[in-house]
Amino acid sequence: MLATQGASAGKGMKTLRNTPLPWEENQNDSERIRNPSVGPRASFRIRAKGDKEDVSVQQLRTTLSNSLVNMGLLSAFLCALANAIYVSPPLNPKCHGESAVVAIHIIEWCAMGGFFLVIVVTVILATDMDGVPDDIIIDHLKNNQMLYTSPHLMAHVSIMLLAVGYGMDLDERAGCPHFTMGTIAAPCFPLLTFVIIKYAQHRRRRSGMLFSGEGKTFPLGGSVFATWADLLY
């Protein structure tokens, strides 16, 4: 009886060993092929069938992801700065009175809302890019360049509002015996950063003209904020 059970167990193990696995590795291809005898399964692709991994595409993904992460972190920090004077307004306004304090609240609230949008949109765009395979990611970015550039524009508008609010806050705390120095001087800081951005764009365009080699000019400097878009050609 024991011998019979042993033979049955050996036969069962043999049957399980000969049963094809749900997924079989094809030696001639790196893709997995599903056994048709098994029920439907879901899979995913990063690139088109037959295409090899493109290192340049992965570098483009990394470059754009880093840009989105940096913009999100910067917006989170600046949102905290806007919140500082939003929750602690001047107790004794010395320039334009309570009406200026109300204006500061509105301006800083709008700035915080803009930074909040930047933080959320950068996460949305990073997630959107993860859902696009390699073989169409470049065309996807070219056709949606304005969408992927929008966080930069929203951030710079919010920075300008932040500076105006801080300038008005300075006037209300320190007073303005002759003129509103804070309101005039504070927006000069974000304006200076925009001048630097334009100058960097000009130098990038010039580098594309001078250092492309072989008598060709590389079209750099076409984008103000989305500098990665210059690499799409």
Structural domain for 84, as ranges: 76-231
**Which single residue is written with the structure tokens 């710079």?**
156
* Joined tokens for residue 138: 């470049």
Instruction: Please tell me the least confidently modeled range out of 42-46, 166-170, 209-213.
Output: 42-46
Q: Given a cut of 80, is residue 144 above it in pLDDT? A: yes
24 part of a folded domain: no
Asked if residue 58 is part of any domain, the answer here is no
For residue 140, being part of any structural domain is answered with yes
Domain-embedded: residue 67: no
Q: How far is 59 from 176, CA to CA, in rounded Å?
A: 52
- Please report whether residue 145 resides in a domain: yes
pLDDT tens-digit series, residues 44-79: 455 555 555 567 888 888 889 999 999 999 999 999
Q: Please tell me the predicted confidence (pLDDT) of residue 15.
A: 44
User: Phi first, then psi: what are they for 199, rounded to 5°?
Assistant: -65, -40
Q: What's the rounded Cα separation, in Å, for the pair 124 and 131? A: 11
> Would the pLDDT of 205 be above 50?
yes
- 116: in domain: yes
In a domain, 107, yes or no: yes
pLDDT, tens only, 98-142 = 888 899 999 999 999 999 999 999 999 999 998 988 888 888 998
pLDDT of 30 reads: 43
pLDDT band (50, 70, 90) for residue 28 = very low
Query: Of 32-41, 112-121, 152-161, which range is least confident?
Result: 32-41
Are the C-beta atoms of residues 105 and 193 closer than 8 Å to each other? no
Q: How far is CA 75 from the centre of its chain?
A: 12
State residue 13's pLDDT score. Answer: 44
Secondary structure (DSSP) of the chain: -HHHHHHHHHHHHHHHHHSPPSEEE-TT-SSEEE-TTSPP-----SS-TTPPP-HHHHHHHHHHHHHHHHHHHHHHHHHHHHHHHHHS--SS--SSTHHHHHHHHHHHHHHHHHHHHHHHHHHHHHHHHHTS-HHHHHHHHHHTHHHHHHHHHHHHHHHHHHHHHHHHHHHHHH--SSS-HHHHHTTHHHHHHHHHHHHHHHHHHHHHHHSS-TT--------SS-GGGGG--
Percentage, residues of the chain above pLDDT 70: 74
Contact 166, 85 (CB under 8 A): yes
- Between CA 79 and CA 161 the distance in angstroms is 11
Structure tokens at 172: 């209300």
Residue 223 placed within a domain = yes
As a whole number, mean pLDDT of residues 137-166 equals 92
Q: How many CB atoms lie within 10 A of CB 90?
A: 19
pLDDT at 9 over 60: no
Average pLDDT, the chain: 79
Tally of structural domains, the chain: 1
